[in-house]
Amino acid sequence: MKGLKKEDTPILKGYQILHNYIRPHQGLKGKTPAEACGITVKGKNKWLTLIQNASMKEQRSS
């Protein structure tokens, strides 16, 4: 990212999630790295599904 000023910005974590769970890769025959490892994210909107799952896990931990 051009002009990234801070290394601890949440943008980087979001990009990691995009790269690993949402964006298909040519080198993996159209699968995400997570799918290649056997981790699937079900639902029409993968972003929303990941956020909902994360918030449910956080509630269980409290």
CB 46 within 8 A of CB 21: yes
pLDDT digits (tens, 9 = 90+) for 41-60: 998 999 999 999 888 866 66
HSE, side-chain direction, 13 A CA sphere, residue 44: 0
- Provide the domain limits for residue 34: 13-61
**Looking at the 3D structure of the chain, how many domains does it have?**
1
In a domain, 3, yes or no: no
In a domain, 6, yes or no: no
In a domain, 26, yes or no: yes
Considering the chain, what percentage of its residues have pLDDT values greater than 70?
A: 85
CB 22 within 8 A of CB 32: yes
In a domain, 57, yes or no: yes
Asked whether the predicted pLDDT for residue 35 surpasses 60, the reply is yes
Mean pLDDT, residues 28-41: 95
Query: What is the torsion angle, in degrees rounded to the nearest 10, for the CA atoms of residue 1, residue 47, residue 54 and residue 19?
Result: -40
pLDDT digits (tens, 9 = 90+) for 18-28: 999 999 999 99
Comparing CA positions, the residue from 19, 28, 17, 24 lying closest to residue 53 is: 17
In a domain, 39, yes or no: yes
CB 45 within 8 A of CB 38: no
